[in-house]
């Protein structure tokens, strides 16, 4: 399963729209949002659909899609237009529909530009994406009668590693020059830097806060996924009450995320959304 996930991620990084759609659908499953996408005129058009308007809260959806796509860093895709509408039957020409009549077809749309990864991440991404698959080399052409490799036979992996090593060496020389030029400034400001640096205790406390926030966020997502799945098959009052409690717990976990956490804005939005879902589940229980 892990190899399959890595393969899908690699395909998405190479620019496969089908793989990108699959990853986005997995990321937005807790919100019950369905994703469709198509690459047209240099722009990745993304369509987000859900049964209810509150599930398509703009800032939440835009942040989630942007964060996921920047993690993927798909090749040759930088401009993205995110569109949203109430769930409709599948149509192959949905892009033509929303382009022809956006005011009546869409709730909102947002054009975004994906941030480019730093140079080291780009090198790693390109190496992983372009890494050739191992191939079997015929015995008669590349080895002698004793089974020993013939000279001057270079494999693709060796050439790739050599190129990466050469590039990293060049970058290392450039970085070393930069450090040498700035060494005097570093010495003159060292005392101020030491006095202003955080104590080990404060640093440890910050790391603990980040770790707890990440754990709470991930647990809340898992609970929300469970509540969505249970809500599709629930029939009895007891089942709906249990679903309401699950949504409530997920909301409380999202609300516990610290403001310093990188996805704090998403957590705030989801805490409110999960709380609303809990109220909806309670009403369903009262109907039975």
What is the reported pLDDT for 108? 94
- Give the CA angle between residues 27, 11, 262 to the nearest 5°: 35
Residues 10 and 101 in one domain: yes
Residues 173 and 221 in one domain: no
**Cβ(15)–Cβ(76) under 8 Å?**
yes
Residues 96 and 6 in one domain: yes
113 domain residue, yes or no: yes
125 domain residue, yes or no: no
Q: Which domain holds residue 86?
A: 2-119
Residues 36 and 112 in one domain: yes
What is the reported pLDDT for 114? 92
What is the residue-level pLDDT of the chain in tens, covering all 288 positions? 556 667 888 899 998 999 999 999 998 888 889 999 999 999 999 999 999 988 899 999 999 999 999 999 998 899 999 999 998 877 778 898 888 888 888 999 999 999 877 655 555 555 455 554 444 444 444 445 444 444 444 444 555 566 676 667 666 666 556 555 555 445 444 444 444 555 666 777 888 889 999 999 999 999 988 988 898 898 899 999 999 999 999 999 999 999 999 999 989 989 999 999 999 989 988 987
| Entry pTM | 0.50
Number of domains in the chain: 3
34 domain residue, yes or no: yes
* Burial call 226-248: b when 16+ CB within 10 Å, e when fewer: ebbebbeebeeeebbbbbbebbb
134 domain residue, yes or no: no
Residues 36 and 55 in one domain: yes
What is the reported pLDDT for 63? 92
250 domain residue, yes or no: yes
278 domain residue, yes or no: yes
Residues 228 and 250 in one domain: yes
CATH number for the domain that contains residue 105 = 3.30.300
Rounded-to-integer distance, Cα 72 and Cα 54, Å? 27
The domain boundary residue, chosen from 104, 119, 134: 119
Residues 13 and 96 in one domain: yes
172 domain residue, yes or no: yes
Residues 97 and 47 in one domain: yes
Residues 109 and 13 in one domain: yes
Name, in order, each residue with C-beta under 8 angstroms of 103's C-beta and a sequence gap of 6 or more.
none
Residues 51 and 78 in one domain: yes
């Amino acid at each position: 399963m892990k190899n399959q996930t890595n393969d899908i991620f690699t395909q998405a990084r190479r620019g496969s729209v089908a793989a990108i759609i699959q990853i986005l659908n997995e990321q937005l499953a807790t919100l019950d949002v369905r994703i469709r996408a198509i690459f047209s005129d240099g722009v990745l058009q993304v369509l987000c659909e859900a049964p209810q308007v509150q599930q398509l809260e703009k800032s939440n959806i835009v942040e989630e899609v942007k964060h996921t796509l920047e993690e993927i860093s798909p090749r040759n895709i930088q401009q993205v237009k995110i569109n949203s509408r109430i769930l409709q039957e599948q149509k192959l020409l949905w892009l033509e529909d929303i382009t022809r009549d956006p005011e009546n077809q869409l709730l909102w749309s947002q054009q975004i530009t994906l941030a480019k990864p730093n140079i080291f991440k780009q090198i790693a991404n390109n190496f992983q994406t372009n890494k050739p698959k191992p191939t079997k080399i015929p015995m008669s052409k590349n080895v002698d009668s004793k089974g020993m490799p013939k000279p001057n036979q270079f494999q693709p992996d060796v050439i790739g590693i050599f190129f990466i090593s050469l590039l990293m060496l060049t970058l290392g020389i450039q970085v070393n020059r930069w450090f040498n030029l700035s060494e005097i400034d570093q010495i003159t400001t060292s005392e101020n830097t030491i006095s202003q640096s955080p104590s080990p205790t404060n640093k440890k406390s910050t790391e603990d806060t980040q770790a707890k926030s990440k754990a709470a966020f991930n647990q809340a997502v898992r609970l929300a996924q469970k509540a969505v799945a249970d809500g599709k098959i629930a029939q009895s009052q007891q089942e709906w009450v249990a679903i309401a409690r699950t949504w409530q717990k997920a909301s409380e976990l999202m609300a516990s995320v610290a403001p310093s956490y990188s996805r704090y804005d998403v957590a705030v939005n989801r805490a409110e959304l999960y709380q609303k879902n809990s109220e909806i589940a309670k009403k369903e229980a009262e109907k039975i």
